[in-house]
């Protein structure tokens, strides 16, 4: 019987989140506790990449973390970002987040609709003369670089932040009594193993979102009980609801 579920993400800000519907419908307790956290590079670490922000005329943002760490680093390094800097974001939500740091003008902020860089590419090609800088996490592949290369765009990828384990306190370790764990990234799975080196899964169900996270669970020698997304259930909440329905009726 599943009574207590650990969701390795921050608690949803909206009370309309499907997670809360699941909690009341199935009588389960949901605990939101990220297994990983994002940490910015220090100016010294960033300078080792020998990149000057002001050599670029456009910044490509793929997440809010990228925005936070770009502007934080610029401030720490006393780099004044020119007013005519252009920003290309993978979604409108990310584009609007820029307002936290700069005055938002539609003419210099562009965004895609799908959250994928491919969708942003046609707009970037229209601005072929720009020199693009892409702030990234320490964990990334070359897919963005290859995509921009394919359109012969001038670009540079740089690491501005890293994902680290959000370590558990002694008290958290001692009171770890969950019936189900939900992971959204391989780093979260790594963090579980780091925090609980003697982790014994037993009856604890494990759910994952995304193929790389599912692979990380299997590679760690753990049993995967629920994998999302699927054709029928594209979201984790949809898949979880179906799983609990089958298990608990």
Q: Show the tokens assigned to 140.
A: 């990334």
H or E element, residue 6: strand 4-7
Q: What pLDDT is attached to residue 140?
A: 80
The confidence score (pLDDT) of residue 14 equals 85
pLDDT one-digit tens code per residue, 184-206: 999 999 999 999 999 999 999 99
Asked if pLDDT for residue 181 goes beyond 70, the answer is: yes
Terminal C-alpha separation, the chain: 11
Q: How confident is the model at residue 212 (pLDDT cuts 50, 70, 90)?
A: very high
Number of domains making up the chain: 2
Residue 159 bridge partners (DSSP): 136
Contact predicate 32/183, CB 8 Å: no
At residue 10's C-alpha, the angle toward residues 8 and 15, to 5°, is: 120
Domain check: are 74 and 88 in the same one? yes
Mean pLDDT confidence for 73-77: 97
Task: With a cut of 80, say whether residue 104 has pLDDT above it.
Answer: no
Domain of 147, in residue numbers:
39-163
What pTM does this model have? 0.73
Residue 95: which CATH number? Answer: 3.40.50.10090
The per-residue pLDDT for 249 is: 63
Q: Which of 104, 135, 163 is the last residue of a domain?
A: 163
Among the listed ranges 74-83, 90-99, 110-119, 125-134, which one has the minimum average pLDDT value? 110-119
């Amino acid at each position: 019987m599943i009574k207590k579920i650990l969701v390795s993400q921050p608690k949803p800000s909206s009370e309309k989140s499907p997670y809360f519907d699941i909690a009341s419908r199935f009588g389960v307790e949901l605990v939101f506790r990220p297994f990983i956290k994002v940490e910015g590079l220090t100016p010294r670490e960033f300078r080792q990449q020998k990149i000057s922000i002001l050599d670029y005329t456009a910044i490509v943002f793929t997440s809010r973390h990228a925005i936070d760490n770009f502007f934080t680093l610029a401030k720490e390094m006393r780099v004044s970002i020119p007013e005519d800097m252009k920003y290309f974001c993978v979604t409108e939500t990310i584009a609007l987040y820029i307002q936290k740091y700069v005055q938002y003008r539609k003419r210099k902020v562009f965004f895609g609709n799908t959250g994928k860089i491919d969708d942003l590419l046609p707009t970037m090609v229209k601005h072929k003369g720009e020199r693009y800088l892409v702030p990234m996490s320490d964990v990334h592949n070359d897919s963005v670089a290859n995509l921009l290369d394919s359109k012969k765009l001038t670009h540079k990828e740089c690491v501005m932040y890293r994902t680290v384990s959000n370590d558990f306190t002694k008290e958290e370790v001692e009171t770890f009594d969950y019936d189900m764990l939900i992971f959204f990234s391989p780093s979260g799975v790594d963090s579980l193993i780091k925090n609980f080196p003697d982790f014994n899964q037993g009856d604890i169900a494990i759910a994952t979102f995304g193929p790389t996270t599912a692979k990380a669970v299997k590679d760690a020698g753990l049993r995967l009980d629920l994998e999302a997304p699927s054709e029928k259930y594209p979201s984790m909440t949809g898949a979880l609801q179906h799983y609990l329905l089958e298990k608990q009726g």
